[in-house]
């Protein structure tokens, strides 16, 4: 049966969307240039790297390189957007979800932020070191994105403190700085070539962050009699049963 005009248009739209999502050869070349530039910026510094260095590293002429990037500053701008501004967008997508319990929201925040850095460690180090070399207004945008990430973490942590899920009296801002610092530092020591799994590392960092904030559960006193021991066992079984049903 032939397709109607509406079905045909829908099929064409889907095909067009798929084509846009599929990486092209141009995308791959652009990423190769950014990867090479990142390594050179780390090795020689942003000021000590020129366009010829980057062109030689990717095996192309300076003229061909200008097809993808107008300058090394535009490369730094692209790297900043790939890391800093994306981090802000990811954090925003979680901090506004008040239906999530604060501990779940914080775990998701940490995992997202850590995974972003662990998947772009070299780029993140470049951005950290070279942000001052960004031209305006890109430098201000990067600084605003960093502040936004901190604010989103603070918001979720404060919600957990106010709701009793996190330690009473904890300073949400200090906790946020500490957790973000753990994530950011991973860019300097993480090496996927040594068999480390980024997802596992991100989960470990999330565990550390939550343990810092979740209050210790008081130990129960030892049962004074058989009846007390049986009562404690029944309470424990009821809690376990309710958790199983919930899952």
Q: Is the pLDDT of residue 237 over 80?
A: no
H or E element at residue 141: helix 138-162
Q: Is the pLDDT of residue 193 over 80?
A: no
CATH T-level assignment (fold) for domain 73-216: Tetracycline Repressor; domain 2 (1.10.357)
Listed in order, the ranges of the chain carrying CATH 1.10.10.60 are 19-70
Listed in order, the ranges of the chain carrying CATH 1.10.357.10 are 73-216
Instruction: Write the pLDDT tens digit of every residue in 78-129.
Output: 888 888 889 999 999 999 898 999 999 999 999 999 999 998 898 899 888 8
Query: pLDDT band for position 14 (50/70/90)?
Result: very low
Q: Is domain 19-70 classified as CATH 3.10.20.30?
A: no
CA 53/CA 50 separation, integer angstroms: 5
In this structure, are residues 81 and 137 in contact, taking their beta carbons and an 8 Å threshold?
no
Secondary structure tally for the chain: helices H, strands E = 12, 0
Q: Is the peptide bond before 137 cis (omega within 30 degrees of 0)?
A: yes
């Amino acid at each position: 049966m032939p397709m109607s005009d509406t079905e045909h248009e829908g099929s064409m739209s889907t095909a067009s969307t798929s084509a846009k999502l599929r990486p092209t050869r141009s995308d791959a070349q652009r990423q190769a240039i950014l990867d090479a530039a990142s390594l050179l910026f780390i090795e020689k510094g942003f000021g000590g790297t020129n366009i010829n260095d980057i062109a030689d590293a990717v095996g192309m002429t300076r003229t061909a390189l200008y097809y993808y990037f107008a300058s090394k500053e535009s490369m730094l701008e692209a790297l900043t957007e790939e890391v800093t501004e994306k981090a802000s967008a990811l954090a925003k997508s979680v901090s506004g979800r008040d239906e999530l319990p604060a501990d779940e929201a914080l775990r998701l925040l940490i995992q997202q932020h850590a995974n972003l850095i662990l998947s772009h460690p070299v780029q993140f180090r470049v951005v950290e070191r070279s942000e001052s070399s960004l031209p305006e207004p890109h430098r201000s945008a990067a600084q605003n994105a960093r502040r936004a990430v901190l604010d989103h973490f603070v918001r979720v942590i404060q919600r957990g403190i106010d709701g009793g899920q996190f330690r009473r009296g904890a300073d949400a801002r200090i906790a946020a700085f500490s957790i973000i610092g753990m994530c950011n530092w991973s860019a300097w020591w993480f090496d996927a070539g040594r068999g480390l799994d980024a997802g596992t590392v991100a989960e470990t960092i999330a565990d550390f962050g939550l343990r810092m904030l979740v209050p210790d559960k008081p130990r129960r006193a030892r049962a004074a009699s058989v009846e007390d021991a049986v009562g404690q066992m029944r309470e424990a079984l009821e809690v376990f049963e309710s958790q199983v049903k919930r899952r």
